[in-house]
Amino acid sequence: MDKTAVVILHYKGEQDTRDCLASVIRDRKNDKNLKIILILSCGSKNFADEIKKKYPEVLVTSYTGNTGFAKGCNCGIKIAQDLDCKNIILLNNDTLVDTDFPDKLVDFSSKTPRLGLVSPKIYFAKGFEYHKDNYEPSEKGKVIWYGGGSFDWSNIYANHLGVDEADRGQFEKTKNTDFTTGCCMLITKELVEKIGYLDEKYFLYFEDIDYSQRAKKAGFGVYYYPKTHIWHKNASSSGKPGSSVHVYYQTRNRLYFGLRYGSARTKKSLVIQSLRMLFGDKVERKAVIDYYLGRMGKGAI
């Protein structure tokens, strides 16, 4: 396997991070080509010391304060660059990985010319499905969270293909995708050297879609690769869908992304929608005002 870094960002959820590390490391303690980088944002010193003691092979970096997903990931990417890693895999701390992870992602990357980004198939972790009662016991752990990405450019909405579907082999085709997901995506060294880092203005949400768009514009391939998979404890650290955190960042960042990349017609529609939001939900109103005043990064919500 080419020299590869797995970057895990910890904001909260110490047990999630313990479980994630255990699943990644498993029997790979002596794998010199796999570097595991744990970025602790808001982690306690005791927790950092615990990880260092249990996993001395893990590179632990701590900094104070919640500075957002993009900045934390960028910190890990820069460390991976210093280590001269050919591949950098961003991995949420609330995930568990398959036994052949990350070998298959790296192998696919090495055999695919001009690849920039690739994400695997992602399932909901058992018990974290949106609609838990809709599935047979045998289907749990095989309910799709991400089977590739589709982007609606007319309305500036991102969709995970297959979400909530039990896996019956319907998303087994490797293909180009509209976007990879920051929950788990491999980034090649060449892409970082060409387009730089994640845009920290987003803070949370849309930064992966933005990065995918920039990769495509630079002529790199963006892929969904289902031959390996992980499990996601969905939204365990970033707020559930419909929460004020989710609504704020999705609203503000949708404007930022759409008015940056959308067509003239789409931009006009977004501006009209945003003006209407000024007279509606208070969280949406705050998000719109912050966008137009240039208040990006961490929002005061």
Which string of DSSP letters, residue by residue, matches 93-107?
A: TTEEE-TTTTHHHHH
Handedness of CA 301, 235, 23, 193 (dihedral sign): negative
Q: Is the peptide bond before 137 cis (omega within 30 degrees of 0)?
A: no
| Residue in the block written with tokens 């303690």 | 29
CA-to-CA distance for 39 and 36, rounded, in angstroms? 10
Amino acid identity of residue 9, one-letter, is L
pLDDT given for residue 26 in this prediction: 86
pLDDT of residue 63: 78
Contact between 225 and 174 under an 8 Å Cβ cutoff? The reply is yes
Domain 4-232 fold? Spore Coat Polysaccharide Biosynthesis Protein SpsA; Chain A (3.90.550)
Q: What are phi and psi of 188, to 5 degrees?
A: -85, 150
β-strands 4-10, 87-92 pairing: parallel
Q: Look-up: residue for tokens 């998979």?
A: 229
Residues of the chain scoring pLDDT < 70: 42-43, 65, 235-241
pLDDT score for 55:
93
**What is the reported pTM?**
0.94
Which residues in the chain are classed under CATH 3.90.550.60? 4-232
Distance CA 248, CA 286 (A): 7
Residues 6+ apart with CB under 8 A from 127: 140
